[in-house]
Amino acid sequence: MNFFKSIAFRISISIAVIIAATATAVGWLILSDEKKTLELELRSKGSYLAELISRQITEPLLYEERYEIFSLLQASMKGEESLVVYAEVYDKDGEKVVSTYKDGISPEKLPSILVPGTTNIKEDSKAQLYHIGIPISVENLGTIGYLKLGITKKHLYIILQNIKKKIFLISAGVIFIGTMMGLWMARKILRPILILNKGVKKIGDGEVGVEVPIVGVGEIKELALSFNRMSIKLKELIDAIKAAQENLVRTEKLYAIGEFSAGVAHEIKNPLTSIKMLMQTIKHKKHPLSAKDFGIIEGEVNRIDNIVKEFLAFARPEKIEKTGVNINGVLEEVITVTRPQIERTQIHLVEKLSPSLPLINGSHDALKQAFLNLVLNAVQAMDGGGTLNIGTAADNGTLSVVIKDTGVGIPKKYLKKVFDPFFTTKEEGTGMGLALTYNIINDHSGKIEIDSTPGMGTTVKVQLPLIKM
């Protein structure tokens, strides 16, 4: 995700803006306050200076010692630090007696501010000056003249400039630290959300039941807990749906039994018809049954017998008596029975039976029937030879049997149907083998899965629960 689009970044930017605004407002307040104080200070300093100088020049003014006055004024303006930028002395009629100016001050532009009997201060913001006019009085004689001073505000502005700089530096520091802290806090707050996000993604990918670690506090912790509850509920729900689906499949199978009778009748009809036709021909030709005829009849009768047997096994399964069953033993028996067929078709048999297989609770005969069906299907699928793998294993309370062939395989569209009664692709098949096997495994609380690739082969995996010790 783009960092600049992240919530963390936005939060820290907001924090930075808030801090910047606050810093500006506070800075402005401090500055204007400070400016007022400094101005007040400067005014009183100016008045005091004017007072001082006026006293110094009273005597020289009385005796009209102009040069003395001039040097006194010059002294007050000496040096960089001096506040006075110009000084003028007037006699009592307002005639200029002595004056002196620093560079950049033009006498013509100075305002007239002399007021008899009182000190007058005038601010000149443009020239950054205070003009101060003060009457010079002597006891008994009254006003004998005036002093006019220019007090510069330059130093004040330099101080203010320094304060501004400091405020700016401090604000920048605070904004930087605030932004970093905002970022850090946002990350800390958002981390649990990012973890949650990962969990949600996992569920989106079908990994229901995942739980996220409970980090964070308050609402975010609540959210994580709710998420975990939801995830578990979701898993329960999906499991329930799966179970219901399996049940439905079973119900559908039971429904199929209804169709079953019709199927059986149809299956039996074929062999019966061929027997009947044979009988009629014999009756017509009036000659006794030949050995070949007997063979045909026997074959058809066997076929009927088989169909009826399978029908009975499926429709009215014998009551299963469950005892401890050794599945390896069952498989050995199945292999013994099918060995002639395996050898005839030149199938390579690979047995990998786990030597330490625990017993399972079940019916020996029913399981033998089930695995016989599976092995027969595998052998029949490998008409031109191949490899038949039979393996057993046990772990986690489950026993598994894998029967793997390298035969023709099952097309995908048939995979769903192979367990249906009467579904067969074989000319001589009854389609009952896998239906029966499914029921038997189901009766043992087991599972059966078929995985097949047409042209490559088929793997059937049966899982049965072990006896709990």
Ligand X SMILES: Nc1ncnc2c1ncn2[C@@H]1O[C@H](COP(=O)(O)OP(=O)(O)O)[C@@H](O)[C@H]1O
Interface with Mg ion (CB under 5 A): 377, 433
**Number of shown-chain residues binding ligand X (CB under 6 A):** 22
65 to 56, 62, 69, 97: CA distances (angstroms): 12, 8, 7, 10
Q: How far is the CB of 420 from ligand X (least distance, A)?
A: 8
Identify what 60 binds: ligand X, Mg ion, none; CB under 5 to 8 Å per kind: none
Q: Which CB sits closer to Mg ion, 227 or 422?
A: 422
Q: Cβ distance 159 to 38 under 8 Å?
A: yes
Assess 431 for contact with ligand X (CB under 6 A): yes
Question: Would you count residue 357 as binding ligand X (CB under 6 A)?
Answer: no
Query: Kind of pairing, strands 386-395 and 347-352?
Result: parallel
Binding residue (CB under 6 A) for ligand X from 112, 128, 341, 425: 425
Q: Examine residue 373 and tell whether it contacts ligand X (CB under 6 A).
A: yes
Using the rule CB under 6 A, is 378 a contact of ligand X? yes
- The interface partner of residue 425, options being Mg ion, ligand X, none and the CB cut-off 5 to 8 Å by kind, is ligand X
Q: With contacts defined by CB under 6 A, name the span among 110-118, 159-167, 405-413, 461-469 that binds ligand X.
A: 405-413
Query: What is the DSSP code (8-state) at residue 94?
Result: S
Q: Rule CB under 6 A: say whether 54 interacts with ligand X.
A: no
* Residue 406 touches ligand X, criterion: CB under 6 A: no
CB-nearest residue to Mg ion: 433
The one among 12, 377, 392, 439 contacting ligand X by CB under 6 A: 377
The per-residue DSSP string of 365-433 comes to HHHHHHHHHHHHHHHHH-TT-EEEEEEEEEETTEEEEEEEE-SS---HHHHTTTTSTT---STT--S-H
Helices 364-381 and 327-344 cross at an angle (nearest 10°) of 30
Could you tell me which stretch among 28-36, 131-139, 203-211, 433-441 binds ligand X (CB under 6 A)? 433-441
Other CB atoms within a 10 A radius of the CB of residue 147 amount to 28
Using CB under 6 A as the binding rule, whether residue 429 contacts ligand X is answered as yes
Question: Per CB under 6 A, does 306 bind ligand X?
Answer: no
CA dist., res. 461 & res. 389, Å (int):
12
Residues in CB range of 216: below 8 A, 6 or more apart: 189, 191, 192, 193, 223, 224
Interface residue list for ligand X (CB under 6 A): 373, 377-378, 381, 405, 407-410, 418, 423-426, 429-435, 458
